[in-house]
Amino acid sequence: MIIKQLKVGFMEVFCYILGCEQTSKGLLIDPAGDEERILETAQSLGLTIESIVNTHGHPDHSCGNRKVKEQTGAKIFMHADDDRLFNATEGESMAIQMGFSPSPPADVLVQDGDTIPVGQRELTVLHTPGHSPGGICLYTGNNLFTGDTLFVGAVGRTDLPGGSLEILLKSIKERILPLPDDTIVWPGHDYGGSPTSTIAEEKKHNIYITDFQLV
Flag whether pLDDT at 81 surpasses 90: yes
- Which residues make beta-bridge pairs with 29? 16, 53
Output the CA torsion sign for 113, 14, 161, 198: positive
Least confident of 48-52, 65-69, 91-95: 91-95
Of 68, 51, 91, 89, nearest in space to 9 by CA: 68
Residue 106 contacts by C-beta under 8 Å, 6 or more apart in sequence?
54, 76, 77, 78, 83, 87
Q: What are phi and psi of 111, to 5 degrees?
A: -130, 170
- The pLDDT value recorded for residue 84 is 85
Flag whether pLDDT at 185 surpasses 90: yes
- The pLDDT value recorded for residue 87 is 75
pLDDT in tens, 83-137: 988 776 666 777 777 777 788 999 999 999 999 999 999 999 999 999 999 999 9
**pTM, full prediction:** 0.96
For residue 198, give the H/E element and its range: strand 197-198
Domains of the chain: 2-210 (3.60.15.10)
- Which residues make beta-bridge pairs with 123? 116
Percent of the chain having pLDDT more than 70? Answer: 98
Side chain identity at residue 73, one-letter code: G
